[in-house]
């Protein structure tokens, strides 16, 4: 898949999270590309809603710029670290 005239500068994961009454927690954005899971930086939500963003300029599986095909196959989610 190609999109003429389009250059992908990177991807950005966005977590909008808050801590409930479960006590301190640590979460991370997680992506799966090339059959491998890559966890982002662990963050600790507060008791009010906060937005955590992380930008990945290259595909960690290929160490190359993202392609449209990479984005079509990408899976993303949230991991409970602790």
Q: What's the pLDDT score for residue 6?
A: 79
- Under a CB-based contact definition with an 8 Å cutoff, are residues 33 and 76 in contact? no
Q: What's the pLDDT score for residue 22?
A: 76
Model confidence, pTM: 0.84
Whether pLDDT at 39 is above 80 = yes
Task: Give me Rg for the CA atoms of the chain.
Answer: 15
- Under a CB-based contact definition with an 8 Å cutoff, are residues 59 and 65 in contact? yes
Residue 51 binned pLDDT confidence (cut-offs 50, 70, 90): very high
Sign of the alpha-carbon dihedral angle for 27, 32, 35, 38: negative
Both tokens of residue 58?
Answer: 């290259």
Distance between CA atoms of 72 and 31, rounded to whole angstroms? 13
Distance between CA atoms of 32 and 9, rounded to whole angstroms? 18
């Amino acid at each position: 898949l190609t999109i003429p005239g389009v250059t992908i500068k990177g991807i950005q994961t966005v977590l909008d999270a808050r801590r409930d009454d479960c006590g301190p927690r640590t979460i991370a954005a997680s992506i799966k590309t090339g059959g491998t899971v890559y966890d982002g930086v662990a963050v600790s939500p507060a008791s009010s809603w906060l937005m955590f963003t992380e930008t990945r300029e290259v595909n960690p599986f290929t160490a190359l710029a993202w392609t449209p095909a990479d984005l079509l196959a990408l899976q993303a989610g949230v991991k409970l670290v602790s």
